[in-house]
Amino acid sequence: MTIAVTLLATALVAGGATALALRLGGGAARPHILAATPSPASTLASAGEAVPSRQPATDGEDATTSQSPSGSPSPAVPATVTEADALLKENASLRGRVGAAVEAVRDCSLGPAPLREARKEFLTVADRRDDFVRRLQLLEPDANDDLNAAVEALSQAWTASASADRDYYSWASDVLAAVEEDPVTGCAGSSASDYDVAGGHNEAANKAKGRFARLWAPVAVRYGLTEVKPGDL
């Protein structure tokens, strides 16, 4: 009985102390929370300043320098290759023009006008090829032997082709003279069917073209250019 009374008195004293504390504090007791100290990075960010990277740059590293996947730069294209490639592009349309002119002379029944145009075309193409050869001869020799050999073969091919074009010019002149002399039967009696008048020069040109194509292939691969077939010349 004495123990029960003692416990009850202790509880009443504790409750009163708690109530007194609540009244004095003006409400429920709040836990004390320690304010987190801001990091230097967050302080700079809130101030609008750039936050420096924590990863140092590697010694000798240059962020503005880019390298190829292999780590080695692409080879510089020699002036000889650049000029030869430009000439090949200029020449691309000439072969088709000669073929069309040959067909115009063979079909001489259309009268003298197409024959005159074809004859002019042969001479124009021949002059263009002569100019290509002249420009090739102005190139400085290159250190690559296969490139020098390719340029020489191309020069020979265009020289022979220009000679063939002039053979066609003479042939077209003969056919034109026959048609002008006799507009009715002149075409049938002319040498219009003898279109292989440039056979010898064409044969020499074809051999040189084949040699050039073989020599140019590794050069084109080396510098990322388009390979050339003999028929493209």
> For the chain, what are the domain ranges?
79-232
- Separation of CA 93 from chain center: 21
Average pLDDT of 143-151?
87
Q: Could you read off the pLDDT of 33-64 as tens digits, one per residue?
A: 334 444 444 444 444 444 444 444 444 444 33
Q: Could you read off the pLDDT of 25-40 as tens digits, one per residue?
A: 444 444 443 344 444 4
Average pLDDT of 66-90?
72
B/e letters for 4-21, b = 16+ CB within 10 Å, e = fewer, are: eeeeeeeeeeeeeeeeee
Percent of the chain with pLDDT over 70: 68
Q: What is the structure's pLDDT at 195?
A: 84
| CA-only gyration radius of the chain, Å | 46
Of the listed ranges 58-62, 85-89, 131-135, the one predicted with least confidence: 58-62
Mean residue pLDDT across the chain = 76
φ/ψ (deg, to 5) at 180? -70, -35
